[in-house]
A and B are shown apart, each in its own frame.
Chain A
Amino acid sequence: MKETILSNNERVFVEKSIEEVLRIDKRQLTEFRNLGIFFGKKYGSVLVSLGDTRVFANVSCEVNIPKTTRPNEGTVFINVEMSNEKMSESCIVTTRILERTIRDSRCIDLESLCIIAEEKVWNLRVDVSILNNEGNVTDCACIAAVSALAHFKRPDCTTSGDGEFIIHKSSEKDLIPTVLHHYPICMTYALFKGKIPIADPTLLEERVTNAGLTLGINSYKEICSLHMTGVSLTSPFLIQKCSEMAAERAKHVVEFIKSTLEQDSIDREKSNVKGFKQSIILTNVTSNFCDEQSIDNNAEEISEVASNHDEIIVVSQEQKFKKIDENTISTTKWKDENEETSSSDSEIITLSQSNQEKSKVESMQIDSSDDEEKETIILN
């Protein structure tokens, strides 16, 4: 999708209002937008919304050969896809930030993903799909990826000594959750004038600002990754200040993820899983719900024209001619000829085809009459 042009007026307006500690969406400078996490019916899929930004993430697993340098560890692969654009620059940047925050911080216990050392390990794949970009995609994608990993459960494996192993179905053996040592969360700040950091920038703010700071931080106040964009004169104290604020926020986010996961497992125990339906707010005017509806098998209210048109009818050769006879057209001569040539007893024809046959027959009839004038009139 083509980006709209950012006007100077908009730029000046946003910059000035931030100097006056005001934001266009009435937020405080360090306030984040509302976060929503919705888990799917199956393990490992999640829809995260941060304000109007929406990201879908899904984790899947596959048995693979481990890396030769780390023969007893599983692997993690992160793939980010943006809507509307294929492999853009921002897409690659987001992928790298997620890789550094989640994979390189070693928050996943990769050794537990090992089935047989040097031969078979689990390979986790995180597919992150950015559905709507309303600013701060990185944070949203990171929360989605981490909560999907925390929600994911893989099938159990048993190994026999001679290098063979069995992957059990969920009905045979309970699924195993992924072990996460800590939950690293990305926090983005946009820097204005090099000294005013604003949390969770919207798309407009992201475009106006000349520098940004993304911190990957966990609930233990440990910085896992740091990414800076743009050019700005800042002081080291600012980064320190930002990281302190981020650590505070990360704690809340992790708590929120954990409480949502807990709620989800309670729902699953009661076998009351709503899936992505729960993200739909039914009180909105744009939403609608319709409960299970039974279909009346015997109702005959459908229009006859439509039903006759689509149905495929098997008509044997004899029946076919019976039908034609019903239409009071006597074509004995033609019938004999046709019987000689046709070998199959039955063939599939639609009703419209049979109509075509009928018209053929009519033209045949006309042929037999000698009057040439009449023939042309009817054929037209």
Chain B
Amino acid sequence: MIHRLFPGLMLALLLGFATMGWAAIESFEFDSPEQEARFKQLSGELRCLVCQNQSIGDSNAELAQDLRREVFEMIKEGQSDAEIVDFLVARYGDFVLYRPPVNYTTALLWAGPFLLIAIGLFFMIRFIRTRVATTDGVGTLSAEEQSRLDVLLQTPAKDEHT
């Protein structure tokens, strides 16, 4: 009896936990779908300061929850995206932005990928050039080498059945 009930029990338990997980997510009531879209957009672009590789939309950290609440309230108050972003940058610095502004501290961050491509291209071109240079000499044989090659090509293989 227990054995037959067990899978069902487990399933019920698992499903129970699944709903508990959802219960932790706060529900925000927006005035319009447009506000909700802005909220999603913003919370995806703002970085959680605690778990530094998640956006505040993804993170379950307390601070991320508080910041979501803050963003939500500012949207409801009718503040613009720029105002909301400025509010957070004033407190947490550019670090809070997943798309940081271009300035001299972030110059390396923005230029870095292009720099790496340039360095890679430089070495690739150099590699290809040196390879072409070395293969250029392969086609030519000295007179001595040529005569030896001719001899080898004319000598029939010894185990050939003629």
Q: Are chains A and B native binding partners rather than an unrelated pairing?
A: no
Q: Chain A: residues with CB nearer than 8 A to chain B? A: none
Which residues in B have some Cβ–Cβ distance to A below 8 Å? Answer: none
